[in-house]
Amino acid sequence: MKEAGALLIDTIRETSDSVDRSLMTFESACEVVSKSGQIADGFAAAINLINMLNNREKLSEIARHENSLLRILAAIRIGELQSPEKFDDQAKEWRGDSLLMTSLLRGMVRAGKEVHENSVLSLAGISEETDFLLARLLRSQELEAV
């Protein structure tokens, strides 16, 4: 028999897969996971689900949530999943929302992604944190641009 931690991971994985395939809403999935008895509350369930989601559209919906922390976590996850080639499209969509843009960059850094200078030049100088993240995303020969 599986131990409790393994059962919880299986529940989160199966539930997040249902959200990815649009078989269940994110809110319903949070309820299912929180009722499993292994998670303290719906917020903890949401955090675990976001980390398992792979559907960028579903994550984009969560990035528009009223809860700022869920928005940040969804944007970080999008950054982890998205290819550097899609960065420009996402940057245009979130232009003016520094919270989401910084979170997106954080996710890309976490996943070890690299982007081209022309993709991020407009973001340089927004904040120290943004510049810090951009320096890690640019290829080494392009670091002087930031």
Write the CB contacts of 141 (distance below 8 Å, at least 6 apart in sequence): none
pLDDT for 142 equals: 47
Assess contact for 78 and 63: CB atoms under 8 A. yes
Domain boundaries, the chain: 1-54, 78-146
CB atoms within 10 A of CB 53: 22
Least confident of 16-20, 97-101, 103-107, 122-126: 122-126
In the predicted model, what is the mean pLDDT of residues 26-55?
91
Residue 141 has pLDDT above 90, yes or no: no
Residue 31 has pLDDT above 80, yes or no: yes
In the predicted model, what is the mean pLDDT of residues 7-36?
93
Backbone angles phi, psi at 138, to 5 degrees: -80, 145
